[in-house]
Amino acid sequence: MASIQTSVSGRDEIASATSGPELRTKKVGNVATLAQAPKTAIDANGNVFKVPDYTIKDILSVIPKHCYERRLLQSLSYVFRDILAMTIIGNIGYRLIPLVENQFARFVLWSVYSYTLGLFGFGLWILAHECGHGAFSDYTWVNDFVGWVLHSYLLVPYFSWKFSHSKHHKATGHISRDMVFVPYTKEEYLEMKGKSKIAEVTEETPIVTFFTLIFQQIGGLHFYLLTNATGQPHKSHWWFARSHFNPSSPIFDAKDYWYIVLSDIGMICTFTAVYLWAKYFSVWSAFINWFIPFLWVNHWLVFVTFLQHTDPTMPHYDAKEWTFAKGAAATIDRNFGFIGQHIFHDIIETHVLHHYVSRIPFYNAREATDAIRKVMGEHYRYDGENMWLSLWKVARSCQFVEDNEGVMMFRNVNGIGQAPEN
C-alpha cells in the first residue's frame, strides 16, 4: 500500500492507494449490496478527487418535468430585450458622447459604451447557443433561423458551431473525443517542449502567461474556428482543412456539408453589411458600434467557456474510464453576479446542468440545477471566486494532464499544487 500526502483546508490527510479495488456497502431500496468503491486521483491542488459513481438515469429522474418546457414567446422576449438595450445604448451614447469636450473623458465614455454593447452582444450569442441546442423553442426552423441570424451577426458560423458543439456535449471530458478545450497529455506537452522528462522543462514566467491570456482572450475564438486549436488535432489535415469554415472538415459528417456552406454565407452577409455600414455611414460608426463590441463578445465567449471546462479540480478521462455522467460532471459552475444572471442568461451559473440536459432553457436551469445537486453531492463543482482571479490561477496551474489509470488530472511545471511525476 502506498500513501500519498495531501492538504485539505489547511489540514493534512493521508490518501491511500491500493493495488486492488476496494469494496463498499451500497444500499438500493432496502437491499444492501457490496459495490466497488469509486476510483480516486489527486487533483492539481493536491486534494483527493473521487470519480462520480451515479448514472445519467439518477440525474434525469430528479429533474422536474416542467423544467423541460420551452416557451417561444418568452425566449423571443429576451432576444428583443437585448436588441432593444443595444439600440437604446447606441442611440443615446452615439449622439451624446461626441458632445463631451475633454478627450480623456470621451475615451472613457466610448470604452464604457462599447463594453456595454459587448455585454448584450454576448447575451445574444448565448440565446443563439440556446437555439443550437433546441432549448429556444419547440420549433426547429425557428431555432435555426434565429440562431443563424444572431450568430452570423457576431461572426460565428451557426451550423458549424452547432454540429461541433453537439459533439463536444456528447463527449465532454473524453481525452480523445471531446471537441474543445482538450488539454495536452503529459506526453504531448513534453513533445511540444522537445523534452524527454518533466524535470527538464523550465517554469513558465508570469509574463508569458499574461501574453498567452491576451492572445487567448482576443483571438482565441477565431483561431479555434479557423484551425480547430484546442480541439482534436487531426494531424493529417492542414490547418484550414480542419476549419469550421470548411464543409469537408473532419469535424463534420458528410450530411452536414450544405449546412456549413449556409454558415459561411452568413459570414459573407455580415462582412457585406459591415462594409456597407462603413461606406454609407462612417468607418468610426462601424468600428465603435460593431467591431469593438465584437471583440468583447469574443473575449466573453473564451473567458466563460475556458473557465467552465478548465480548473485544477477537474478531471478528464480516457476511453475506458469515461461515461457520459462522469464527463458532464467534469464542468464547473461559477458566479458572475448581476451580469451573469441577467445579461449572460445564467450560462455561467448553471453550466453543469446544461451538460446533463442541454435542451432545458436557461430560464428553468436554476431550478433543475438545485434538483441535480441532490444526486451529484460532492461531485457538483461550484466556485464563487472572482472569475478574473480564477482565470489567472487556472492559466498558471493547468498546463497538461497526467494519467492515473484512466483518470487524468491537471498538472503544471510552475511549482503550483501537486507536482507532476518525472
What confidence tens digit (pLDDT) does each residue in 260-318 have?
Answer: 999 999 999 999 999 999 999 999 999 999 999 999 999 999 999 999 999 999 999 99
Asked which of 47-56, 92-101, 212-221, 400-409 is least confident by mean pLDDT, the reply is 212-221
179: cell is 471537441
What confidence tens digit (pLDDT) does each residue in 35-54 have?
Answer: 567 789 999 999 999 999 99
Alpha carbon distance, N-terminus to C-terminus of the chain: 21
* Domain-located, residue 39: no
* Residue 13 pLDDT exceeds 60: no
* Residue 350 pLDDT exceeds 60: yes
Amino acid (one-letter) located at 271: F
* Domain-located, residue 54: no
Total tally of structural domains belonging to the chain: 1
241: cell is 482543412
* Domain-located, residue 13: no
* Domain-located, residue 394: yes
Average pLDDT, the chain: 89
* Residue 8 pLDDT exceeds 60: no
What confidence tens digit (pLDDT) does each residue in 260-273 have?
Answer: 999 999 999 999 99
* Domain-located, residue 156: yes
Output the pLDDT for position 96.
Answer: 96
21: cell is 479495488
Q: Across residues 345-358, what is the average pLDDT?
A: 97
* Domain-located, residue 17: no
Output the pLDDT for position 240.
Answer: 73
> What is the rounded CA–CA span in Å between residue 67 and residue 112?
36
Output the pLDDT for position 1.
Answer: 33
> What is the rounded CA–CA span in Å between residue 273 and residue 30?
66
Output the pLDDT for position 22.
Answer: 53
> What is the rounded CA–CA span in Å between residue 408 and residue 51?
11
Output the pLDDT for position 261.
Answer: 96
User: Contact 308/387 with Cβ under 8 angstroms?
Assistant: no
Confidence of residue 29 (pLDDT cuts 50, 70, 90): very low
Q: What is the 3-state secondary structure (H, E, C) of the chain?
A: CEEEEEEECCEEEEEEECCCCCEEEEEECCEEEEEECCCEEECCCCCEEECCCCCHHHHHCCCCHHHHCCCHHHHHHHHHHHHHHHHHHHHHHHHHHHHCCCHHHHHHHHHHHHHHHHHHHHHHHHHHHHHHHCCCCCCHHHHHHHHHHHHHHCCCCHHHHHHHHHHHHHCCCECCCCCCCCCCEHHHHHHHHCCCCHHHCCCCCHHHHHHHHHHHHHHHHHHHHHHCCCCCCCCCCCHHHHCCCCCCCCCCCHHHHHHHHHHHHHHHHHHHHHHHHHHHCCHHHHHHHHHHHHHHHHHHHHHHHHHHHCCCCCEEECCCCCCHHHHHHCCCEECCHHHHHHHCCCCCCCHHHHHHCCCCCHHHHHHHHHHHHHHHHHHCCEECCCHHHHHHHHHHHCCEEEEECCEEEEECCCCCCCCCCC
* Domain-located, residue 6: no
Asked which of 35-44, 135-144, 153-162 is least confident by mean pLDDT, the reply is 35-44
Confidence of residue 26 (pLDDT cuts 50, 70, 90): low
Output the pLDDT for position 16.
Answer: 37
Domain encompassing residue 209: 62-411
Output the pLDDT for position 38.
Answer: 78
* Domain-located, residue 145: yes
Confidence of residue 105 (pLDDT cuts 50, 70, 90): very high
Planar angle of CA 289, 294, 299, nearest 5 degrees: 135
How many beta carbons lie within 10 A of that of residue 143, not counting itself? 23
Residue 248, Cβ density class (10 Å: 0-12 exposed, 13-18 middle, ≥19 buried): middle
Q: Across residues 205-220, what is the average pLDDT?
A: 91
User: Contact 259/163 with Cβ under 8 angstroms?
Assistant: yes
415: cell is 511549482
Output the pLDDT for position 15.
Answer: 36
Q: Across residues 344-355, what is the average pLDDT?
A: 97
> What is the rounded CA–CA span in Å between residue 158 and residue 145?
10
Output the pLDDT for position 103.
Answer: 94
Of the chain, the percentage scoring pLDDT greater than 70 comes to: 90
Write down the pTM of the prediction: 0.88
Output the pLDDT for position 5.
Answer: 32
Q: Across residues 210-227, what is the average pLDDT?
A: 88
Candidates 421, 357, 409; CA nearest to 68 is 357
> What is the rounded CA–CA span in Å between residue 331 and residue 293?
28
* Residue 4 pLDDT exceeds 50: no
What confidence tens digit (pLDDT) does each residue in 49-99 have?
Answer: 999 999 999 999 999 999 999 999 999 999 999 999 999 999 999 999 999
> What is the rounded CA–CA span in Å between residue 35 and residue 22?
8
